[in-house]
């Protein structure tokens, strides 16, 4: 084995060992930071978090990632309200409001599947608060999302949301009474810094809540540390994600066939033990052990165990099946493509009949071969990668045609330099890794094609030159309340794709 491959495998082993440490590493969120410093009385106009917030206003006056247009209204409204609450930066506030007045028309129906998480609850609440503050905000263009929010509120009212559930993740948008029972084992409200800060604001001063408020404040401090920014009040959009980190790196290894590589076994086996124990104990998996199990993590955990030759109880997936597709959590209002791909992949590995689910996925593929509009991830390269994994083992001609079309789309999207892009104008290591994982997993017969061979070698050269171990920056492709980057997870996909290609080319050269 060459020195470079040994270094890559060593890097992956070290990355696997740190997965979950400190609750995870997640990029900072404009929306959650704006809410935390707005609700927190300890943050005055001179707090560094406000300077951080102002530095992230776009040239067009809005906040949020331009690659996710419908993900910009919420952070922009929250930022304006936060600045307004301290009476600072009036010009920046005016620019933000002007952005909203020109941008709001994008919310005309029909609403797409991949709107940010909880936006149907959060956006109407922010609009109400902006109007109460006397801010000139548009209302009429948001009618469709407001109506969607009313339907979601009606669903919430039908049951009592409990700690660690998806409804509580957006508590800041609908909660009124700061019940201490809503704090989960992480001392958060739904693993959401924004919800937790809103809860603290309402609970502060109540004699029966003093201990709970103190624990929730400590949660916000831990969440801020997870961003690596080192600024009090600058927080991620979700925390902790320790179980998510421990699960997704093995799933990337599964996609490349490296799950059982001897050099990685000492690092992989403890994670497999951990996944098996968590699945059995909770009859499913969530992105932490303090949050409800979901269909996506449950399916990925089962797939990893099956691929490793370990027992896996497929009954854990049953509660997430909704006819021809799978939900992430019950009571969702839009379909998750990626959760369905993962569930189909797991069930196919278990030898189950998934034809109707594959037919559903084939029906969601665009004519150009891509799968897009996933509610959890904004890059079509990610969604397409996992859809191919779900379709690959089918002997149905329609499903194989779908895989061929997807491969053609990935090949066509490669840049002359060798890398891939989707969500930004720049080529990115993360999205290049998704594309290469798709090509690596598409089957031996397809990989013999000359065009695919060229793409793999060109992609390998580009990724080799741009991969940076332990780099904390990178494109934010995942969708929460706004776009975010789970840094260790994305880095693991990059390193694993690079190692798989290096091993492949070394083997071919022998």
Reported as a single tens digit per residue, the pLDDT across 58-68 is 999 999 988 88
What is the average pLDDT across 91-105? 96
Which 8-state DSSP code applies to residue 496? Answer: H
Rounded distance between C-alpha atoms, residue 80 and residue 425, angstroms: 27
CB proximity list for 172: less than 8 A, separation 6 or greater: 35, 122, 125, 189, 192, 194, 195, 197, 198, 199
For the chain, give the mean pLDDT. Answer: 93
Which 8-state DSSP code applies to residue 329? Answer: S
Q: Find the range with the poorest average confidence among 3-7, 183-187, 337-341.
A: 3-7
pLDDT, one tens digit per residue, over 342-366 is 999 999 999 999 999 999 999 999 9
The answer to whether 135 touches 86, Cβ cutoff 8 Å, is no
According to the model, what pLDDT value does residue 448 have?
76
What is the average pLDDT across 361-378? 94
Cα angle 173, 159, 35 (rounded to 5 degrees) comes to 15
Percent of the chain with pLDDT over 90: 83
Using alpha carbons, list the distances in angstroms from residue 270 to 19, 201, 254, 273: 11, 41, 16, 5
pLDDT over 80 at 509, yes or no: no
According to the model, what pLDDT value does residue 424 have?
67
Alpha-helical segments (H) within 308-449: 337-349, 355-364, 380-391, 397-413, 429-440, 444-447
Nearest CA to 36 out of 233, 265, 301 is that of 233
Rounded distance between C-alpha atoms, residue 355 and residue 340, angstroms: 13
pLDDT over 90 at 334, yes or no: no
First to last CA, the chain: 11
The answer to whether 378 touches 68, Cβ cutoff 8 Å, is yes
pLDDT, one tens digit per residue, over 291-309 is 999 999 999 999 999 999 9
Query: Across-strand partners of 322?
Result: 325
- Residue with the bigger pLDDT between 259 and 505: it is 259
Domains and CATH numbers, the chain: 3-23+241-509 (1.50.10.20), 30-225 (1.50.10.160)
Which 8-state DSSP code applies to residue 204? Answer: T
Nearest CA to 14 out of 264, 303, 196 is that of 264
pLDDT, one tens digit per residue, over 67-80 is 888 999 999 999 99
Q: Find the range with the poorest average confidence among 347-351, 371-375, 422-426.
A: 422-426
């Amino acid at each position: 084995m060459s020195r470079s491959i040994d270094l890559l495998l060593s890097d992956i082993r070290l990355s696997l060992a740190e997965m979950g440490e400190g609750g995870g590493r997640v990029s900072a969120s404009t929306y959650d930071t704006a809410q935390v410093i707005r609700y927190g009385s300890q943050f005055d106009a001179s707090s560094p978090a406000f300077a951080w917030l102002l530095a992230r206003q776009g040239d067009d006056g809005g906040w949020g990632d331009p690659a996710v247009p419908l993900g910009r209204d919420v952070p922009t409204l929250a930022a304006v309200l936060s600045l307004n609450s301290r009476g600072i930066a009036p010009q920046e506030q005016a620019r933000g409001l002007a952005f909203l007045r020109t941008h709001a028309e994008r919310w005309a129906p029909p609403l797409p599947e991949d709107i940010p998480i909880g936006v149907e609850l959060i956006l109407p609440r922010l609009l109400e608060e902006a109007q109460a503050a006397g801010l000139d905000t548009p209302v009429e263009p948001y009618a469709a999302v407001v109506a969607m929010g009313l339907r979601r509120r009606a669903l919430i009212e039908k049951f009592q949301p409990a700690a660690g559930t998806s409804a509580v993740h957006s508590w800041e948008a609908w909660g009124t009474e700061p019940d201490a029972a809503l704090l989960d084992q992480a001392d958060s409200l739904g693993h959401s810094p924004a919800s937790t800060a809103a809860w603290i604001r309402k609970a502060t001063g109540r004699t029966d809540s003093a201990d709970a408020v103190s624990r929730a404040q400590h949660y916000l401090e831990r969440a801020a540390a997870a961003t690596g920014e080192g600024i009090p009040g600058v927080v991620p959009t979700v925390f902790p994600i320790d179980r998510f980190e421990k699960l997704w790196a093995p799933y990337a290894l599964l996609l490349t066939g490296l799950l059982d590589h001897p050099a990685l076994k000492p690092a992989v086996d403890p994670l497999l033990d951990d996944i098996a124990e968590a699945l059995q104990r909770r009859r499913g998996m969530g992105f932490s052990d303090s949050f409800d199990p979901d269909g996506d993590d449950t399916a990925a955990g089962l797939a990893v165990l099956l691929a490793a030759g370990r027992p896996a109880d497929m009954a854990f997936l049953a509660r997430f099946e909704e006819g021809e597709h799978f939900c992430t959590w019950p009571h969702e209002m839009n379909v998750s493509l990626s959760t369905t791909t993962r569930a189909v992949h797991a069930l196919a590995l278990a030898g189950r009949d998934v034809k109707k689910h594959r037919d559903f996925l084939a029906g969601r593929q665009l004519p150009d071969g891509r799968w897009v509009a996933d509610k959890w991830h904004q890059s079509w390269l990610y969604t397409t990668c996992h859809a191919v994994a779900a379709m690959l083992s089918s002997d149905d001609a329609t499903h194989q045609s779908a895989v061929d079309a997807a491969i053609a789309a990935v090949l066509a999207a490669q840049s002359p330099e060798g890398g891939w892009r989707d969500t930004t104008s720049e080529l990115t290591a993360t999205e290049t890794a998704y594309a290469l994982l798709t090509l690596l997993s598409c089957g031996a017969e397809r990989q013999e094609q000359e065009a695919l061979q060229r793409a793999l070698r060109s992609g390998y050269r580009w990724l080799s030159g741009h991969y940076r171990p332990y780099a904390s920056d990178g494109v934010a492709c995942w969708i929460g309340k706004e776009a975010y980057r789970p840094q260790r997870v994305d880095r693991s996909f990059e390193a694993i794709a690079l190692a798989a290609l290096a091993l492949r080319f070394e083997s071919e050269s022998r």
